[in-house]
Structure 1
Amino acid sequence: MTGALLAEPLTAAAFRSFGDVIEAGGAPDMLINEGLCGRFHDRARLDFTDGRAGLSLFDAEARSWPCRIDMMERHPLGSQTFVPLNGVAMLVTVAPDEGGRPGAPRAFLSGPGQVVNLLRATWHGVLAPMGARGHYAVIDRIGPGENLEEYRFKTPLYVEGPQP
């Protein structure tokens, strides 16, 4: 894997084959709490094998442009959701599976209020908050079995930030 990749804005349509972009946009699906709260209902395709959903907190070091990607990982037994807690944009690098290893990667930069749910077995780069430390709530599978596969690139990939 060589060369540079340009991060594109994170949109639900562009990201659909890798997972879900979750955000509260438009009218809510329903009003709850005596009409005082809009509920945007069932926005992620959460998927777990032989386990349960767990909630963890992550504290990730800041990354900068160009962002070096040495490896990708995937979780074959469950989806994984990243909920930013401090508003820092995150670089989300993903790739389709090609014979048990990452195929052609794509890179996305999250915007304010965006949450990412990675589908089960989606190849992805490590958590990469851009420009400042990132704090995240992460919802993923807790249970028996090996739920982590890693692939190290022979040559690193570099991701450039969006151009103004």
Structure 2
Amino acid sequence: MSERILIQPLTAAGFAPFGDVLEVAGQPDKLINQGLCGRWHDRARLDFGDGRAGISLFQSQTRALPYPLEMVERHPLGSQAFIPMSHDPFLVIVAPDAGGVPGRPLAFRTQAGQGINIARDTWHGVLTPLHAPGLFAVIDRIGAGANLEEYWFDTPYIVQAP
């Protein structure tokens, strides 16, 4: 029988062990462009090892709840930031490392306007938009070397709303 994972709201504190929440929160660090634009400065710990930062565009099919979580992956050579190009929430699944394999996953639902930066070598689910168009800007490592490790669960977890 599949174990259930309840989705929780994405918060900076809850997600901190796995990376950064990208959002406009509090007052901007400074005003720019003649005082007409707030800048929230340097909000993610981008980490690309010996590669370079690249910006790609991803368009993913939407997923429905309950969602069967069959596999997670991690990128040992670089972080990976997902910035939605719409104001629709998406599902973020991460898992702590348990001796080289993923521990029990956690599921978060973003709010409109939130993105994430997943830290290097962090187990995470695949891109999981809940609404069309499922379009994201992704900032990640471009470079040589094996930067993808997948782990398939013997029994899928079931991710569902609380």
Partner of 1:42: 42
Superposition map of 1:42-81 within 5 A: 42-81=42-81
In structure 2, what is the Cα distance between the partners aligned to 1:15 and 1:50? 26
Partner of 1:119: 119
Comparing 96-105 and 147-156, the one that deviates more: 96-105
Amino acid at match of 1:71: M
Amino acid at match of 2:97: D
In structure 2, what is the Cα distance between the partners aligned to 1:115 and 1:131? 15
| Structure 1 residue runs without a partner (length 5+) | none
In structure 2, what is the Cα distance between the partners aligned to 1:2 and 1:45? 34
**2:56·2:139 contact (CA, 8 Å) conserved in 1?**
yes
For the aligned residue pairs, the C-alpha RMSD in angstroms reads 1.1
Which whole-Å deviations, capped at 9, do the CAs of 1:114-146 have from their partners, x for residues lacking one? 010000000000110114341000000000100
In structure 2, what is the Cα distance between the partners aligned to 1:19 and 1:28? 21
SS state at 1:7 partner: strand
Aligned length: 162
Partner of 2:104: 104
SS state at 2:49 partner: coil
**TM-score for both structures, normalised by structure 2:** 0.97
SS state at 2:14 partner: helix
**1:63·1:132 contact (CA, 8 Å) conserved in 2?**
no
Which whole-Å deviations, capped at 9, do the CAs of 1:45-85 have from their partners, x for residues lacking one? 11111110000000000101101111000000000000000
| Structure 2 residue runs without a partner (length 5+) | none
Which whole-Å deviations, capped at 9, do the CAs of 1:91-113 have from their partners, x for residues lacking one? 11100111111011110000011
In structure 2, what is the Cα distance between the partners aligned to 1:35 and 1:67? 44
**TM-score for both structures, normalised by structure 1:** 0.96
Comparing 60-69 and 126-135, the one that deviates more: 126-135
Partner of 2:146: 146
